[in-house]
Amino acid sequence: MILSKREQKGFTLIELMIVVAIIGILAAIAIPQFSNYRKRAANAAAMSDAKNLATAQEVYYTDNNTYASDTADLEGAGFVGFSKGVRLVEEITVDDDEDTWSATLKHDGGTKEYTVSGPGGSITPDSPAP
């Protein structure tokens, strides 16, 4: 009597376990990298907003011969506000005697604070205290 071999259909349990293990390894590598990309993007958004704030302050100074102490005053100078998630850590401080100003910004998803000051709009990245 000759026994016929049935055609094999589907995957064995070992093959499925290997595929799951490979997916797990790839996820363990990809998730931290994705998190780092998000943090870098958040830091870049805060840096960009710091540059925009500096530009608006210089335009405001040109028109008013003083720096603005509030972002609402900068709307006429082309400042449209901060990106989503970016906020002022320290309010804008203005020293009219010295004609200087400074502010500190941070993105909620970022790891750095950016202190921008003028005249000139120099930006200094700071790592906040833990």
Where would I find the H helices in 10-105? 13-64
Residue 42 lies in a domain: yes
> What are the tens digits of pLDDT across the range 50-107?
999 999 999 999 999 889 988 888 888 888 889 999 998 888 999 988 889 999 999 9
Compute the C-alpha angle 107/111/116, nearest 5°.
Answer: 60
Q: Which range marks the domain in which residue 115 is found?
A: 13-126
- d(Cα 129, Cα 124) in Å, to the nearest integer? 15
Residue 113 banded pLDDT, cuts 50, 70, 90 = very high
Structural domain contains residue 115: yes
Model pTM score: 0.74
Q: Is residue 1 part of a domain?
A: no
Q: Is residue 68 part of a domain?
A: yes
Kindly report the average pLDDT of the chain as a whole number: 87
Number of domains comprising the chain: 1
Residue 130 has pLDDT above 60, yes or no: no
